[in-house]
Amino acid sequence: MKKVISTTAAPAAIGPYSQAIDLGNMVFISGQIPVNPATGEIPEGIKAQTAQSISNIKAILAEAGLTIDNVVKTTVFLADMSLFGDMNEVYGAEFTAPYPARSAVAVRELPKQVLVEIETIAVR
């Protein structure tokens, strides 16, 4: 049974999708871009943007009764692969071993011209 997860502590969906879908044992979180939900602002630089994207993920996880330790898979979309090292530095400080499985790819463009978007799968 699908349950929609939604919180004002993360940016609202800007299209026909949910912030997250809870299937009971798994939670699928839509890609989170680095928009501060309180101000609508986007921080400058890949490190700050990665931190904000992860903060948004944590807020959605909390709404589902989970933490970042429940994350088993992430997909990181980057505006350019040259940003990988700095993104990875922040990412590595937020997640702990055993780290989730991860894919990281560069894409042509991201919404609102941000530098990073992160989607997540978590389990109970």
Residue 14 pLDDT = 82
CATH number at residue 60: 3.30.1330.40
In a structure prediction context, what are the per-residue pLDDT tens digits for the chain, which is 124 residues long?
899 999 999 999 888 999 999 999 999 999 999 999 999 999 999 999 999 999 999 999 999 999 999 999 999 999 999 999 999 999 999 999 999 999 999 999 999 999 999 999 999 9
**65-68 long-range CB contacts below 8 Å, 24 or more apart?**
66/27, 66/122, 66/124, 68/94, 68/95
113: containing domain: 3-123
Q: Which residues contact 99 (CB under 8 A, 6 or more apart)?
A: none
**What is the total count of domains within the chain?**
1
* d(C-alpha 87, C-alpha 60), whole Å: 20
Q: 47-54: long-range contacts (C-beta < 8 A, 24 or more apart)?
A: 47/86, 47/87, 47/89, 47/90, 49/114, 49/115, 49/116, 50/86, 50/87, 50/90, 50/91, 50/116, 50/118, 51/90, 51/94, 53/116, 53/117, 53/118, 54/90, 54/91, 54/94, 54/118
Tens of pLDDT along 19-39? 999 999 999 999 999 999 999
